[in-house]
Amino acid sequence: MQIWLMNRIQYPLITLVFFLFVVFFILYNVEDPFFNGVTFSSKKEPLLKSSHNENLTIPRNPPVPLDKSSTCHFTVKHSGRRAKWGSPVLESGGRRELLETCDYTSGKWVFDNTSHPLYNESDCPYMSDQVACQKYGRPDLDYQYWRWQPHNCNLKMWNSTEMWEKLRGKRLMFVGDSLNRGQWLSMVCLMQSVIPAEKQFMTQQDHLTSFRAEEYNASIEFLWAPFLVESNSDEPMGHRLPEKILRPDSNLRHSSRWIHADILVFNSYIWWRKGSVKLLWSSEENGVCEEIDGLSGMELAMDAWANWVESNVDPMKKVFFVTMSPTHLLKQEWEPGKRGNCYGEKLPIKNQTRETNLDLPTTLMMEKVLARLSSKVTVLNITRLTAHRKDGHPSIYRKFYGILSPEELANPASYSDCIHWCLPGVSDVWNELLFQFF
């Protein structure tokens, strides 16, 4: 780049500025490939305000925010300290009751190439290269045709127009990690086809991405917050860091955004499975971090999140928490004695009564935390029904931004994505379940 500048120093400044812009744009998409190929609106769309009145608790002297340059000067073992929240719990007008007449968690996957898929991959202009499996050469399409059928009832059929009417004048916000982002993208793809192209806008501001339908004055948004509380991985790009640092007693960075939404859909799980995390408390001024294992760290963060919800969220607001999305990284979990992962899988697990690849310790911890929020948070339990879908992952059928080695190319299972979900596919079913509560 220095040689380029030396040879062309006589070029006008505008040429240099344009070149740097192009380089930044390319690097941005390489760092965070999810939106590769998506054109964002240049029109400034005002953010909708919530129809509820919330009181946001703001500390008097907020600490310096964490970012990807944050470091621990010294690390010690976790002392057992918990996050404390001093704001009073808001009084509600009574417990919110959801009339759930259908136990959707008990059922089976039914092959249905008549009603599914609910949209075509190529018809969604916002489709991500991370989950566009058909675009990247997946030869079989059966993964798109499976429908979830509860045993003793039927799900209400998906209707995009009805859903928009439910969202009129409101903000629906998904908050969490890349799996929640996949569910958000699924919702956008499900909903965008009934909105005229000139009346829909996709905008991105920092770690908040918003799809807005002008005629409904409504938006479907995604807020990147993989740990729910503040962390050094909160930037949408460049968050693959060797050291994960959290501030479990602070979520102001995220809550200042999600407090204004009318409907919230939270998740958090997969990032907690990547080893231990480090805690840097707001009151710590010397950079001393405490180290804690992933499960304990998740419980600490979820406790802090639950305390915040209890203290700040109107009980009449719709708040959902999506349970764990199981991975299929080890074939032995559904075929004992077998090696491999989701690579090459084309059908759901045949024995759908078998409990497979379920993280029981995390499940029990989440149930304990969520139990005390029963009047404010609806649990969207997608874990068991998703566990059977070993066929629904991108595997090798997605865009890769690094160069694969000859050894990797010779062993496709070694670089298969068995965590995320192809679209159309499993994430659409999660939104079908969400639709039952509207």
- On the question of a cis peptide bond just before residue 361, with omega within 30 degrees of 0, the verdict is no
Given 129, 262, 417, 428, the catalytic residue: 417
DSSP 407-434: HHHH-GGGG-B-SS--SSSHHHHHHHHH
How far is the C-alpha of 213 from the C-alpha of 191, rounded, in Å?
Answer: 9
Please check whether residue 378 is in contact with residue 322, taking contact to mean a CB–CB distance below 8 angstroms.
no
Please check whether residue 222 is in contact with residue 189, taking contact to mean a CB–CB distance below 8 angstroms.
no
Q: Is 417 among the catalytic positions?
A: yes
- On the question of a cis peptide bond just before residue 248, with omega within 30 degrees of 0, the verdict is no
Query: Residue 102 has which token pair?
Result: 């259908």
Stated as kind and residue range, the H or E segment containing 146 is strand 146-150
Given 178, 186, 210, 219, the catalytic residue: 178
Given 70, 416, 420, 428, the catalytic residue: 420
CA distances from 322 to 42, 151, 180, 183, 363 (A): 32, 21, 8, 10, 12
Please check whether residue 191 is in contact with residue 160, taking contact to mean a CB–CB distance below 8 angstroms.
yes
Amino acid at 185: L
Q: Is 420 among the catalytic positions?
A: yes
Cα angle 157, 160, 161; round to 5 = 115
Partners of 399 in the β-ladder? none
Backbone φ and ψ of 231, nearest 5°: -150, 170
Active site (catalytic) residues: 178, 417, 420
